Structure 1
Amino acid sequence: MTATFAEIPLTGLPFPISEYDRRHRKVFAAMEQANLDALVVTSHGRLQYLSGYTGRGAHFAPFPLILVPGETPTIVVREYDIGGVRPATCIENIVSYTEQFQFAPVSADVIRRYGLQCKRIGLELGCWNLAPADVTALQAQLPDATFVDASRLVAKVAAVKTEQEIEAMRFAMNITDVAVLAFQQSLREGIMEAEVVAHLNCEVEKAGGGLRAPSITLLFGERTKLSHGSPARYPIRNNEPAFMELGGIKDGYCSGLVRSAVLGRHMEAELLHDLSVEVLEAVISAIRPGVTAGQVDAVAREVLKRHGRPKLLNHRVGYQTGINWTERGDISLEPGCTDVLAPNMTLHMPIILCGETGYLIGTSEHVLVTKRGAEILSRTPHTLYRG
């Protein structure tokens, strides 16, 4: 990095260069196993994991990170965004384009410089931020190359965390716990969803952290029937449920939680929550190295089957977490998934049950897979809060 960029306040890498070098080596090894000569990384979460850059400017067109085993990585970005990319990345080779239509020819030119125009090239076809038109344009530029789907290659490497990453996730969970406590302490008749969010954001800021803003779900009463609903100026009344899902964030690493509450009494919400706790605790007990994600999912469904209510759970049991918790291609705890759990993976299990009248109520935990089982990262009990 040049001295000019290094002097920009609040910029830089969250981890030492050695950590990014380690990640690159792991990905190179995975590429060799997959018989890939090059990998074009375009999804925002993977870009941040491997380069440090968040990908904020990449809505214009992909900012591909091109990896070739044994070679220095290259990142291709829009010229306008170089000033934001350079102080935030460990990648020294930066190649630019000006207009969106130049993305494919400039990226193809980089691949040709590596002498790989006739080789096997991996693309993240199942991830966000790579449009079909982008793929078609690259194919037109490199007609002799063999393009293969490598959507899950980086995800599998990133699934196992280092101590530095785990430390970031623990900090993020501390912030999440602050937000949960603020949510619970705010509940009183007449307070609005938006008011509670404003209060918990204030408490989180006092604690020196932040929340992953686009992912905040906080709903009262009948609005708890909305999946992933955004908070509004809507008040809670006595004998109504409340539901929240949010996550503190540190250096891109987010630790999410689901918590529910009832102001007064609400029999359906209380029943759904009791079942969700039973499912969650069975799932946590099933998590250990060597089991598959599908086996963990099956444990959850067996609990509900025993209660004669298997249809209450209409989504996956959980998912791999780390940078960008909504990334496609991550390990998913869903029926039939054969991914094997390993120590130092982090997982979020949102056990949200859908009642017969549409209420979505539940709880969750964020865990670290250990050699013996699972360590719960949150210090907030997953019991129902009663206001």
Structure 2
Amino acid sequence: MDRLAQLQAALKPAALDALLLTAPYQLRAFCGAQVSAGALVVTPERRVLLLDPRYQQAVKPGKVEIKPYVGIHEYARALRELFGPDAVRIGVYAPALSLADMQTLNPHGDLTFVPADALINELTSLLSSAEIEALQQAEAVTRQAIEVAFAALRPGVTERQLQQLLLSHIYQESEGPSFEPIIAFGSRTALPHAHPGMTALGQNELVTIDAGAVIDGLHADLTVTRLFGQSERAQQLIDLTQQALEAALQAVRPGVTASEVDEAARAPIRAAGLDQHTLRGIGHALGYQTHQFPILREHGQEKLQVGQVLAIEPGVYLPGFGGVRLEKMIVVTETGGRLISEWRSEERAE
């Protein structure tokens, strides 16, 4: 059963009369629509994509009915009609539906909007073999781009110059970047989300590059930190973070909770007395967004499932000195976690 069929089948158990999805990444995930605006309405009988007429050619026919609209008032009226005259409980993705949208759709207060976030998050996190293969390609492009940037390291090169090289490769080989790349030198590597600037590279400094490419709507995410020159303290941080990463990778398997993976990575960092210098989570799922549920963090009770792809990224950040983050993409398989670069399609049972 495909993702859209599973969504439709979930209506009755959830006591929903209809589901409304409006986030562009969800439109692509559920019906392959590569558009910046629209609405997918799923009822027990129908699956209808409401679109601005200009977007109709961007959608492949077959999975859904396509209904064009003109103007915001017609849009709201068409949605009400699609819900059906007896509809009361409408499932929505709460982060994507504003208060203004709810008031427009429900002027008389006869509808009840029910958050269906958990259902939608779970379905979008479970990827098919074709989707994992696309992510595998995106990961390969990302690795290549990062290596292009590291190959250009020399004293005096700036973070901004590396950013240009990195993005040039990503744009040539993919749909574009998953997010604005993070590139930092020296003490700025202690900033987990440093924006590339005009900082020039010096000797014996840490260099962090965090980037991702998009292929077929699927977002990759990798981070590499290396030492340019020599520094015993910096090398110790790299070795410790590598140990944490390997421990987390070993912990990945179906049924394990997000917090258990987080704790596996956190334990060696805590043993080194540096737990206060980490973030309170060490990863997340990937897919049609860069950050998807489950989030691998302390106290996270979501269980890993076969078909999810995780970005595991432990880091240690020492203000005034520098930081190290290492990130790999891992596929959850029946037998455990596998680096996406080593994954093969026969490991994913559809």
TM-score normalised according to structure 1 size: 0.80
Corresponding residue of 2:92? 123
* Deviation of 1:139 (Å): 3.2
Do the aligned residues in 2 keep the contact of 1:201 with 1:210 (CA within 8 Å)?
no
| Overall identity of the aligned pairs, in % | 24
Corresponding residue of 2:301? 338
1:23 aligns with 2:3: yes
Counterpart residue identity of residue 312, structure 2:
M
* Aligned mates of 1:230, 1:324 — CA distance in 2: 20
Compute the RMSD of aligned alpha carbons: 2.3
How many residue pairs align between the two structures?
A: 340
Corresponding residue of 1:83? 54
Give the 3-state SS of the residue equivalent to 1:152 in structure 2: helix
1:164-183 → structure 2 map (5 Å cutoff) = 164-183=130-149
* Deviation of 1:204 (Å): 4.3
Do the aligned residues in 1 keep the contact of 2:191 with 2:317 (CA within 8 Å)?
no
Do the aligned residues in 1 keep the contact of 2:178 with 2:214 (CA within 8 Å)?
no
Do the aligned residues in 2 keep the contact of 1:176 with 1:211 (CA within 8 Å)?
no
Residue of structure 2 aligned with 1:259, choices 220, 224, 239: 224
Do the aligned residues in 1 keep the contact of 2:187 with 2:323 (CA within 8 Å)?
no
1:131-184 deviations in Å (ceiling 9; x for gaps): 22222333325x222221111212211222211111111111110111121122
* Aligned mates of 2:166, 2:57 — CA distance in 1: 34
> 1:342–1:243: structure 2 CA closer, same or farther, 3 Å change rule?
same
Gaps in structure 2 of 5+ consecutive residues:
343-350
Counterpart residue identity of residue 120, structure 2:
V
* Deviation of 1:359 (Å): 3.1
1:110 aligns with 2:104: no
Do the aligned residues in 2 keep the contact of 1:175 with 1:210 (CA within 8 Å)?
no
Corresponding residue of 2:177? 212
Corresponding residue of 2:153? 187
1:273-323 deviations in Å (ceiling 9; x for gaps): 222111111110000112111221222222222222221222311111111
1:93 aligns with 2:66: yes
* Deviation of 1:267 (Å): 4.5
> 1:102–1:336: structure 2 CA closer, same or farther, 3 Å change rule?
farther
1:99-141 deviations in Å (ceiling 9; x for gaps): 4x66544422332xx2343x2211111x2x4222222333325
* Deviation of 1:221 (Å): 2.4
1:309-320 → structure 2 map (5 Å cutoff) = 309-320=274-285
> 1:205–1:215: structure 2 CA closer, same or farther, 3 Å change rule?
closer
Do the aligned residues in 2 keep the contact of 1:46 with 1:155 (CA within 8 Å)?
no
Corresponding residue of 2:208? 243
> 1:272–1:140: structure 2 CA closer, same or farther, 3 Å change rule?
farther
* Aligned mates of 2:224, 2:256 — CA distance in 1: 27
Corresponding residue of 1:133? 100
* Deviation of 1:28 (Å): 1.5
Give the 3-state SS of the residue equivalent to 1:230 in structure 2: coil
The range that moved more, 241-250 or 151-160, is 151-160
The range that moved more, 308-317 or 185-194, is 308-317
Residue of structure 2 aligned with 1:322, choices 272, 275, 287: 287
* Aligned mates of 2:184, 2:341 — CA distance in 1: 21
Counterpart residue identity of residue 185, structure 2:
F
Do the aligned residues in 2 keep the contact of 1:64 with 1:75 (CA within 8 Å)?
yes
* Deviation of 1:211 (Å): 3.9
Counterpart residue identity of residue 149, structure 1:
P
The range that moved more, 253-262 or 267-276, is 267-276
* Aligned mates of 1:189, 1:46 — CA distance in 2: 44
Counterpart residue identity of residue 340, structure 1:
K
Counterpart residue identity of residue 76, structure 1:
L
Counterpart residue identity of residue 24, structure 2:
H
Residue of structure 2 aligned with 1:372, choices 327, 335, 340: 335
Do the aligned residues in 1 keep the contact of 2:141 with 2:213 (CA within 8 Å)?
yes
1:196 aligns with 2:162: yes
Do the aligned residues in 2 keep the contact of 1:211 with 1:246 (CA within 8 Å)?
no
* Aligned mates of 2:224, 2:30 — CA distance in 1: 32
Do the aligned residues in 2 keep the contact of 1:259 with 1:363 (CA within 8 Å)?
yes
Corresponding residue of 2:346? none
Corresponding residue of 2:39? 64
* Deviation of 1:378 (Å): 4.1
Give the 3-state SS of the residue equivalent to 2:280 in structure 1: coil
Residue of structure 1 aligned with 2:32, choices 47, 52, 73: 52
* Deviation of 1:37 (Å): 1.8
* Aligned mates of 1:316, 1:167 — CA distance in 2: 27
